Chain A
Amino acid sequence: MRVRRLAAWTALPLAVTLGLVACGSGGDGGSGESNPDAAVRIEIAEPQHLVPTNTNETSGSQVLSALFSPLVDYDEANKPYEVAAESVTSSDNVTWTVKLKDGYTFHNGEKVTADNYIDAWNYGAYAPNGQNSSYFFEKIAGYEDMQGDAPKAKTLSGLKKVDDLTFTVTLSQPYSEFKTMLGYTAFYPMPQAAFSAPGVLAEGYEQAPIGQGPFKMKGTWQHDAKVEVERYDAFPGEKPKVAGVEFRIYQQLTAAYADVLSDNLDVIKTIPTENLSTAATDLGDRFQQSPASSLQLLAFPTFQKEFSNPDVRKAISMAIDRDEITKSIFKDSQQPARSFVSPVVAGYRDDTIGAAGTFDPAKAKALYQAAGGPSKIELSYNGDGGHKDWIDATCNQLKANLGVECVGTAEPKFADLLTKLKAKQPVGLFRMGWVMDYPSMENYLGPLYSTNGSSNYYGYSNPEFDKLLAEGASAGSEEEAIKKYQQAEDILAEDLPVIPLRYGQNNFGHSTKVTNVEMDLFDRVDLLKIEAVK
């Protein structure tokens, strides 16, 4: 599906200092004071689903972020802190105790209890329900028994209620960053009203989801038109600064952009590519950028002989001028990448690939020839994602700098590329993109490079790397875990199974009627911070 989950994180300090301060009173005719009675209008696409465990794209998750309050959120250092949870603790990284804050109620008046979390997660994990975010529960004990056509169990054996406000989660193996995962949409609770019978979602719940968050539904989900929410006054947490939000559904971003220009819409989360070059002039300091979690890579099929030598891979990496491509092709809407994890997660370090990330054609050519790299390189990509331009540019750089032949080969879809890779057919280098599921280094390393990783399509396998990841997962503290993950990343920098190319970026804009627009970790507008200008 093209509408992919683009979870993202803003470097809060950056966004705050760069743009937001300046535009506080910059509104046309606005007095600059915050108006708590006004509603704001935010652009989204038609959500695919509005059930927490079934929502894994940005539009749905943006709406749910208004209706639900997460167990944990992330601070400026991208570390989790408790919101709806009182505490999330574990002594052995296997059994986690979640204590809930008292006083939270669902919008229909129901008190939030441990059962609401257990019911919702069981519903999400049960395979026959076909929930999109089901795999988020795979670390919890008993997940395996709920899979397949006729699952053995209907509930996760790892979830136990202690009292009304406490429950324990037992994982199938130690995982030190379980708390970090809990900020994701899939871990919201659902009220009893959401179920018509135990484990059966009530018909119509999705049309007007009942949550325990700062906003409640105003009317129902009006498909293709809008979803409206209003402030929920009984919400015990941090109160939003606006009276409500209208999530307006757009099919084309250019239409939303035209509306922002004429103050008919308050926030556009992604400025369309064709308007990027003029956005700074059109919007002035109301055009903002912040780091996002996505990462673009060029991967080597390391199972192929000609790419099995790390020096060949390093030489190719050194022959690519990342800065030039991000500037001339992407108009600075993305940032050059020289590490394996995105700057939006704790533990990120600049420039971990070192010399391999420094553009040096002379050295690259010498290294390439010494290592006996192939004289012809193929770059495969999916033709439906707008990748042709940068692939061609990369090819031209390789031709000029390494003196090799280079062709870009388009496959219709990424799935077609995967099919070829699974059959170990020679596709040459191929492009990959990664968007995090939860803000942890592990999420950038485990699935992509561990021997059994779900997205390890390049046949990369390094026992030392696998060992460090396992040690990280069972580390006593987050700091220790990060240390292990960083060591693992250093191994990747040596082996270079993929070349990191670019980090994604949120390119967003807002009207003169709002201020304090910030994007959170998952590419959503922060609804607790946004203010309307009087």
Chain B
Amino acid sequence: MFRFILRRLLQMVLAFFGTTLIVYALMFAGQGDPIQALAGERPVTAAQRAYLTEKFHLDQTGVGGFFYRYFDYVKNLLQGDLGQSLTGRSISDILAAAWPVTIKLALIAMAVTIVFGVTAGVLAGIRRAGIFDNSTLLLTLLVLGIPTIVLAPLAQYFLGVRWQLFPPTAGADPDLYALLLPGIVLGSLSLATALRLTRTSVAENLRADYVRTARSKGLVKRRIVSVHVLRNSLIPVVTFLGVELGNLMSGAIITEGVFNIPGVGFNLFRGIRTEDGPLVVGIVSVLVVVYLVSNLVVDVLYAVLDPRIRYE
């Protein structure tokens, strides 16, 4: 187990450098004239140009200059300094302000997924081919087929503006109620997947030998399902949810934008839109770490849940 984790950690270091290098290159190497790009269509004065050139080490040109800037960046990153956005704000501050609300949103989405997705999945699995099973199949296909970019504004318009059941946007410092609608929208996609996964798994396990044995020795159905079937069926679902949590944390760019929630995705979107290279690279670097760690946790958890799996 220890050796497995160590090996994974070493791989993570490689993956981290690889991804940040690629992101850094995509963000900065493609620009012809980053200073002009920063100024948009306005002419740049010589003074402004000199100031920015010095500030972002643009005096080093070519491939050498790129690596110079990249290693400069990584050096600061390893010291915990994410640098400044182009507007001069510390990226660590931006992220510190953005994380709490994103985590809150992710947890709500996760709760929605578990409560509705897993419950409905179990029910559909038990009553396979029934009305409930078929209607949830139809519904989940529908949800999986509609991208968030359509679903979120639709939900906002009908539930927020038309029928006024929820506040149309959450804003800063939102209460739980304001985050509910975005949470449901965000969770709906993983809800559908979790539902299908649970259903298949439950349906499969219901036909397993140990269930027949349990039934023949006279156990009540509720106990068979809740103790024996559920426990075994949830193993794939839990792994899925673990990975999904990493996904949700990484910022729901669309959902946060539509509902005006100043979280991580919101800031990432702004960084991309305003071509704020340092901000994008900073956020993505942190997200890479979040992904790597959540993947590792899921892998380890897998062994805990399923004793048959051994890491050596």
Contacts and interface: CB of A to CB of B under 8 A. Distances in A.
Contacts of A416: 32
A91 interface: no
Highest count of chain B CB atoms <10 Å: which of A5, A251, A454, A455: A251
Nearest to B269: A251
Contact of A252 (B43, B51, B257): B257
Nearest to A265: B169
Nearest to A151: B47
A461 B19 CA distance: 50
A134 B88 CA distance: 17
A77 interface: no
Nearest to A125: B47
Contact of B46 (A148, A262, A264): A148
Contacts of B161: 258, 261-262
A225 B262 contact: yes
A250 B170 CA distance: 11
A139 interface: no
A255 B36 contact: no
A363 B134 CA distance: 67
Q: How large is the interface on A (under 10, 10 to 19, 20 to 34, 35 or more residues)?
A: 35 or more
B216 interface: no
A4 B41 contact: yes
B55 interface: yes
A147 B46 contact: yes
A225 B262 CA distance: 7
B260 interface: yes
A418 B33 CA distance: 10
Contacts of A388: none
Interface string A31-58: 0000000000000001011000000000
B7 interface: no
A206 to B, nearest CB: 8
A254 B33 contact: no
A467 interface: no
A290 B94 CA distance: 36
A413 interface: yes
Highest count of chain A CB atoms <10 Å: which of B169, B267, B273: B169
A252 B258 contact: yes
A148 B50 contact: yes
B258 A254 contact: yes
A223 B97 contact: yes
Contacts of A250: 260
Contact of A255 (B32, B98, B259): B259
Interface stretch (B67-75, B152-160, B230-238): B152-160
Given A2-B273, A224-B267, A264-B168, A418 B36 contact: yes
A255 B167 CA distance: 11
A362 interface: no
A225 B259 contact: no
B174 to A, nearest CB: 10
A262 to B, nearest CB: 5
B24 interface: no
B48 to A, nearest CB: 6
A163 B33 CA distance: 46
Q: How large is the interface on B (under 10, 10 to 19, 20 to 34, 35 or more residues)?
A: 35 or more
Nearest to B51: A130
A255 B47 contact: no
Contact of B48 (A4, A132, A222): A132
B36 A415 contact: yes
B276 to A, nearest CB: 8
B165 to A, nearest CB: 11
A130 B48 contact: yes
B45 A134 contact: yes
Contacts of B98: 224
Contacts of B46: 147-148
B76 interface: no
A187 to B, nearest CB: 17
B60 interface: no
Contacts of B88: 49
A387 B236 CA distance: 48
Contacts of B168: 255, 258-259, 261-262, 264
A255 B169 contact: yes
Contact of A130 (B52, B97, B274): B52
A248 interface: yes
Contacts of B42: 4-5
Given A415-B33, A433-B41, A455-B43, A3 B274 contact: yes
Interface in A1-37: 1-5
B157 A258 contact: yes
A135 interface: yes
Nearest to A48: B87
Highest count of chain B CB atoms <10 Å: which of A135, A255, A262, A447: A255
Nearest to B53: A149
Nearest to A54: B88
A224 B97 contact: yes
A223 B89 contact: yes
A251 B43 contact: no
B51 A127 contact: yes
A226 interface: yes
B128 interface: no
Interface string B21-39: 0000000000011001111
Contact of A224 (B45, B259, B262): B262
B52 A226 contact: no
B164 interface: yes
Given A127-B51, A264-B167, A415 B37 contact: yes
Contact of A248 (B41, B171, B256, B266): B171
Interface string B243-255: 0000000000000
A256 interface: yes
A251 B50 contact: no
A284 interface: no
B40 A414 contact: yes
A148 B46 CA distance: 7
Contacts of B269: 251
A251 B270 contact: yes
Given A128-B51, A262-B160, A255 B94 contact: no
A1 B169 contact: no
A206 B224 CA distance: 64
Contacts of A134: 45, 47-48
Contacts of B89: 223
Interface of A: 1-5, 46, 48-49, 127-130, 132, 134-135, 138, 147-149, 222-226, 248-252, 254-256, 258-259, 261-262, 264, 413-416, 418-419, 432-433, 447, 454-455
12 contacts: A4-B42, A127-B47, A127-B51, A223-B89, A224-B94, A224-B172, A251-B266, A252-B257, A255-B168, A259-B260, A264-B169, A414-B40
Given A248-B171, A416-B32, 17 more contacts: A1-B86, A1-B274, A4-B40, A4-B42, A127-B48, A134-B48, A148-B50, A149-B54, A224-B172, A224-B267, A226-B171, A251-B266, A255-B168, A258-B160, A259-B168, A264-B168, A415-B32
A-B pairs with the 4 shortest C-beta distances? A225-B172, A127-B47, A224-B262, A130-B51
